[in-house]
Every structure is written in structure tokens, then in C-alpha cells.
């Protein structure tokens, strides 16, 4: 009997049902901030850190005074309009401003200004799709609000919308941006969300000084339009493709020919890509003499030659952030010219051969205690050699993809390259510090306000309890191999560290709240409830 075509289709359908594709989940990795946030929210297989002893901070509610002759005593407060901004400074969350805006016209105008001055849509927050759609619907129906926006941060866009829905949203976004005549900072990093009309609108904004943009331009927009922006000072490109790369030199050159001069900030962010190399950096350096801030991440063909040429021409460089790959030569920058104005330096070191297991690092410290403070040669120390940086205030060194012990004699070598009294922020992530190393570090750098470190256990903190209590630290973050360590271990320390405002362990960050109740000082650790991103996640490199 002959088989019917319909039977063949049923057989094929049954075969397809038995196919299983085991494709591991991969994050989108659209930009560094997206990756940082994704890993922050990712659930770990190890036991989770216990919840903090109190919920998110809430302001205390006090009863209103009794009316006098039918009029509230607080009513007279609004006769002094100069006091209203001082009152609003005590409110942090946008949902509080929406309530304040209903009090009266004067307070409403000031609260609305605070509410819309900085607007953001972040993919790691709840329901970003609905938030973005409603945000631009609000701008569409209330165009006067657009003029209040000075900073717009869009890191999410609903790419799943199709046909009329997508066209309608694109048009509302374009119209809203065209009305933001006071916009100064714009972040738009969602891949495949830009179009020619939207970019044309962006480049004509009269006050735009800072632009962070997705670099996927092929078939989406013409990147050369960026060279026509009149006020642009900072340009940050996330994952530029070859089309953007080919236009980058002309963009930088066109911006440098403006009457006000060229860029003051340039950032090129990749995820291990060979598209950007030394040849391009050397060509661009001729137009980057006014540069103050430079970030080059994930460019595998960038070495000390390209970075060094930009540094040589940009004599007023203030911030530098680079990836020091094993072949780049950037772990030895001692031959670079002096950087007298540099106040922030970030280096991510990628070893050629990572350690076999980070869990064994706690056993790599020698038993003998360290006695000599003499700096050791750079080749025997994991700390990179730095150029002369007399004004450095913030130093971040990350050992990527692995962990390595940082022995005590590395601290004098680090200190000998800096002005220890000037350093306010220090980050040594994935360098495992022993008790001796931590003690020496706290003694060498006594003016630190922020410290981010990795420890083999919580024992070094107990050993250095007195030094930490006497420090001026406002932020302390400790990474441990055992992520299950409880927050109760740092409660006693927080009470003694009177300047501490933010403390964290692993992927958890807590806010330190100090209050007085009945004449007694009370210190609480609460979950992070501010709208700002914790400072640890602003410096951490995934």
C-alpha cells in the first residue's frame, strides 16, 4: 500500500517532537552595566546570604500638629517658598515626589522638576516593558514634561513589538526626544532599537553633552551623523560593529574641528573583539588632545602602543580605564609619560593561565610572617607598574577570570608608586588578602573612604578589627569564597565604624542607617532601597 503524504507529515512531526536541543542560557551581554546587573540578580547554587535584620529603609511618620482656629501650623510653611527645596531634599524616591506634587501648585512644580530631571528604564528592574511604554505615553500626552528632562537612561526596549505597535512607539519616542531641548546626558544602549529618524533627532538636540549608544549600526543608522553634534563632550560606544569602527576616525576628527574643541571623554566597550586596534587609536589620537576621560575595554588588539600614544597627546587626562591583556604590555606602564592630572585609574588584568581553582587560594599564603617593607621588583608582584600619578585618588585593579594571593610585600610596592595620603578609593578584586596584607594596607592608606577587597575568609576582618574601626571608610565591600557567610558577622564592625554608609558582602549591598531614639544611638543594616546604583556595582568588572 502506498503511503499518503499526510502520513509522512505525521511521521515527521513525531520525529521532531523527540528532538531536544540542549542549548545553555547565554545572557544578552549588551553592555557592561547590563551584564553587571544580570549577575547581581542571578541565583547562585551555593546557599544564599541570609536576609538583613531589617527591611528597606522607610521614613518615620510623625503626626501632624493640631490645627489652630481651623488652620494647620504647617500651612504657613508654604509662604516661604525658599524653604521648599530644602524640604524636598529629604525625599529620595520618585514615588514620594508623586505624592508631594499634589500638595499645592508651588510644591507640585518643584516636585515634578525633581521627578523628571533624571529618567531611566533599566532591564533589571521590575517590568521594564510597561515602564518604558507608559513613560513615553506620558511624554506624548504631556509634552511640557519633556523640557524638564536633563538625563535620560534607556537600557531596555521592547523589540518584540511588531508592525503598528512598533511604529507607534518609535514615533512617540522620536517626538518626545525632539522636545527634550534641555537634555544633557543620554544613554541608549539597547541593541537594534535605534533607527535613522531617531538618531537624526538625537544629534540635533541643542544641549546634549554626553552620549552612550549601542554600536550595532549596520542596517540601523548612519554613525557618521554623530560627528555633527555641536555640544557633545563624552562619547561611549557599546559593542561597535565594523561599520561603526570604519566611521569612528572621521567622527572624532569632525568633533575636534568644532570651535569648542574635540571630545573630553571617549569609551569603547567590547567583549573580547579584534575590531579596534592600535592603528585606529594612533590615528584618532591626533584629534584627542582635549581628552580627559578614556575607557578601552575588551579590545584584544589594543596594546601599550595605542594607549600610550593617546596618553602622550592628551596631557590633561584625568580618568583612565583599560584592560591589561597578557600580550598588551599594559601591566608595565612605568615608561608612560607622567600623568599629573590623573585622579582615577582602573586596570583589569587578564592572566595568560588562570589558577586551577579559586577555592584553594586560602592555602597559598606562607606560614612565615612578613617583616621587610622594602618594595620588590615589579616582575615578581601581581600589582602592575604605574606611571607617575601624583594626584591619583581612585585606583581599581581587578584580576579577571581567576584569583591570586596578594602577599604583604606587594603593598609597599603599590604604595611606592602613589601618594598614599591622596588615595581615597581603592579596589583590589580577586586579589586574596591575608590578615598581614590587609593590616599593612590599612596602615599605608589611612585616608581611604572606599575599600573593595577579596578575602579567603572573614578572619582577616576580625584580626584587623581595631584598624578598621579607626579608619575613615564610608564604603566597605568584602568578597569571600563562601557566599553563605552571614551579615551578622559585620554588624559589630559597623557599629564601631562611625563613618560607614554602605557595606557589602558578595552580591549583597546594605545601607547603614544611624538614628537616635530616646537619646540612644541606633545602627541598622537595611537592604539597599535607593534609586541610585550601589557604588560597588559602579566599579565592579564582570
**pLDDT tens digits for 292-343?**
999 999 999 999 999 999 999 999 999 999 999 989 999 999 999 999 999 9
Task: Decide which of 74 and 289 is more confident.
Answer: 289
Q: How confident is the model at residue 28 (pLDDT cuts 50, 70, 90)?
A: very low
Q: What's the Cα-to-Cα distance from 221 to each of 225, 436, 531, rounded to whole Å?
A: 9, 55, 32
pLDDT confidence of residue 64: 61
Q: How far apart are CA 203 and CA 311, in angstroms?
A: 28
Task: Decide which of 224 and 537 is more confident.
Answer: 224
pLDDT confidence of residue 365: 38
Letter string b/e over residues 46-72, b meaning 16 or more CB atoms within 10 A of that residue's CB: eeebeebeeeeeeeeeeeeeeeeeeee
Query: Percentage of the chain surpassing pLDDT 70?
Result: 78
Q: Tell which residue, 131, 140, 211, 130, has the closest CA to residue 173.
A: 140
Measured in degrees and rounded to the nearest 5, phi and psi for residue 83 equal -85, -20
Q: What digits encode the pLDDT tens for the residues 117-170?
A: 999 999 988 899 999 999 999 999 999 999 999 999 999 999 988 899 999 999
pLDDT at 184 over 90: yes
What pairing do the DSSP bridges indicate for beta strands 319-324 and 344-349? parallel
To the nearest 10°, report the CA torsion of 400, 403, 406, 407.
-150
Output the nine-digit C-alpha cell for 136: 513615553
- Return the domain boundaries, the chain: 77-117, 122-317, 403-542
Q: What's the Cα-to-Cα distance from 192 to each of 159, 188, 200, 401, 452, rounded to whole Å?
A: 8, 10, 16, 29, 35
Cα torsion angle, 304, 310, 315, 320, sign: negative
pLDDT confidence of residue 506: 84
Output the nine-digit C-alpha cell for 159: 523589540
In this prediction the pTM is 0.81
Q: How far apart are CA 460 and CA 408, in angstroms?
A: 13
Q: How far apart are CA 241 and CA 34, in angstroms?
A: 18
pLDDT confidence of residue 17: 57
Residue 401 Rama label (left phi>0; alpha psi -120 to 50; beta): left
Q: How far apart are CA 431 and CA 72, in angstroms?
A: 60
Q: How confident is the model at residue 89 (pLDDT cuts 50, 70, 90)?
A: confident
pLDDT confidence of residue 178: 97
Residue 61, CB half-sphere, CA atoms under 13 Å: how many?
A: 2
Please count the other Cβ atoms lying within 10 Å of the Cβ belonging to residue 127: 9
Q: What digits encode the pLDDT tens for the residues 473-514?
A: 999 999 988 655 566 777 778 888 889 999 988 888 999 988
pLDDT confidence of residue 355: 41
Residue 280 contacts residue 249 (beta carbons within 8 Å) = yes
Q: How far apart are CA 127 and CA 158, in angstroms?
A: 11
Cα torsion angle, 345, 346, 352, 355, sign: positive
pLDDT confidence of residue 364: 38
Q: What superfamily would CATH give domain 122-317?
A: Ribonuclease Inhibitor (3.80.10.10)
pLDDT confidence of residue 353: 53
- The pLDDT mean for the chain works out to 83
pLDDT at 378 over 50: no
pLDDT confidence of residue 19: 56
Amino acid at each position: 500500500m502506498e503511503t499518503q503524504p499526510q502520513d509522512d507529515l505525521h511521521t515527521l512531526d513525531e520525529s521532531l517532537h523527540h528532538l531536544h536541543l540542549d542549548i545553555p542560557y547565554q545572557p544578552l551581554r549588551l553592555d557592561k552595566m547590563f551584564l553587571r546587573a544580570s549577575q547581581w540578580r542571578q541565583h547562585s547554587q551555593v546557599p544564599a546570604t541570609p536576609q538583613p535584620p531589617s527591611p528597606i529603609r522607610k521614613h518615620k511618620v510623625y503626626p501632624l500638629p493640631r490645627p489652630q482656629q481651623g488652620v494647620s501650623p504647617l500651612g504657613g510653611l508654604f509662604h516661604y517658598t525658599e524653604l521648599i527645596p530644602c524640604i524636598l531634599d529629604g525625599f529620595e524616591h520618585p514615588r514620594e515626589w508623586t505624592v508631594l506634587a499634589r500638595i499645592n501648585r508651588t510644591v507640585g512644580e518643584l516636585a515634578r522638576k525633581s521627578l523628571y530631571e533624571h529618567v531611566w528604564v533599566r532591564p533589571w528592574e521590575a517590568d521594564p516593558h510597561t515602564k518604558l511604554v507608559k513613560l513615553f505615553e506620558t511624554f506624548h500626552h504631556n509634552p511640557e514634561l519633556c523640557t524638564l528632562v536633563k538625563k535620560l537612561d534607556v537600557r531596555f526596549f521592547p523589540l518584540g513589538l511588531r508592525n503598528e505597535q512598533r511604529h507607534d512607539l518609535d514615533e512617540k519616542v522620536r517626538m518626545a526626544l525632539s522636545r527634550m531641548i534641555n537634555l544633557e546626558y543620554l544613554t541608549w544602549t539597547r541593541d537594534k532599537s535605534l533607527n535613522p529618524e531617531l538618531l537624526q533627532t538625537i544629534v540635533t538636540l541643542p544641549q546634549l553633552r554626553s552620549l552612550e549608544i549601542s554600536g550595532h549600526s549596520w542596517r540601523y543608522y548612519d554613525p557618521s551623523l554623530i560627528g555633527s553634534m555641536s555640544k557633545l563632550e563624552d562619547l561611549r560606544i557599546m559593542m561597535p560593529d565594523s561599520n561603526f569602527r570604519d566611521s569612528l576616525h572621521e567622527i572624532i576628527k569632525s568633533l575636534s574641528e568644532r570651535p569648542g574643541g574635540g571630545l573630553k571623554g571617549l569609551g569603547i566597550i567590547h567583549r573580547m573583539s579584534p575590531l579596534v586596534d592600535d592603528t585606529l587609536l594612533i590615528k584618532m589620537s591626533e584629534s584627542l588632545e582635549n581628552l580627559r576621560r578614556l575607557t578601552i575595554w575588551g579590545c584584544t588588539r589594543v596594546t601599550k602602543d595605542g594607549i600610550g600614544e593617546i596618553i602622550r597627546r592628551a596631557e590633561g587626562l584625568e580618568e583612565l580605564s583599560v584592560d591589561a591583556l597578557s600580550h598588551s604590555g599594559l601591566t608595565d606602564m612605568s615608561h608612560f609619560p607622567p600623568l599629573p592630572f590623573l585622579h582615577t585609574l582602573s586596570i583589569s588584568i587578564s592572566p595568560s593561565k588562570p589558577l586551577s581553582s579559586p577555592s584553594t587560594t586560602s592555602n597559598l599564603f606562607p606560614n612565615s610572617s612578613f617583616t621587610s617593607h622594602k618594595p620588590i621588583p615589579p616582575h615578581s608582584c601581581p600589582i602592575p607598574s604605574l606611571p607617575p600619578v601624583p594626584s591619583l585618588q581612585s585606583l581599581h585593579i581587578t584580576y579577571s577570570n581567576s584569583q591570586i594571593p596578594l602577599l604583604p610585600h606587594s603593598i609597599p610596592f603599590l604604595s611606592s608608586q602613589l601618594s598614599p595620603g591622596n588615595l581615597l578609593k581603592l579596589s583590589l578584586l580577586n586579589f586574596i588578602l591575608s590578615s598581614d596584607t590587609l593590616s599593612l594596607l590599612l596602615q599605608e592608606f589611612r585616608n581611604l573612604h572606599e575599600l573593595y577587597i577579596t578575602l579567603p575568609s572573614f578572619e582577616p576582618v576580625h584580626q584587623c578589627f581595631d584598624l578598621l574601626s579607626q579608619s575613615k571608610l564610608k564604603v566597605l565591600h568584602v568578597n569571600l569564597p563562601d557566599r553563605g557567610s552571614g551579615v551578622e558577622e559585620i554588624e559589630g564592625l559597623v557599629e564601631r565604624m562611625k563613618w560607614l554608609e554602605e557595606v557589602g558582602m558578595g552580591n549583597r549591598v546594605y545601607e547603614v542607617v544611624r538614628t537616635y531614639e530616646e537619646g540612644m544611638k541606633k545602627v541598622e543594616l537595611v537592604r539597599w532601597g535607593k534609586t541610585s546604583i550601589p557604588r560597588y556595582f559602579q566599579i565592579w568588572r564582570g
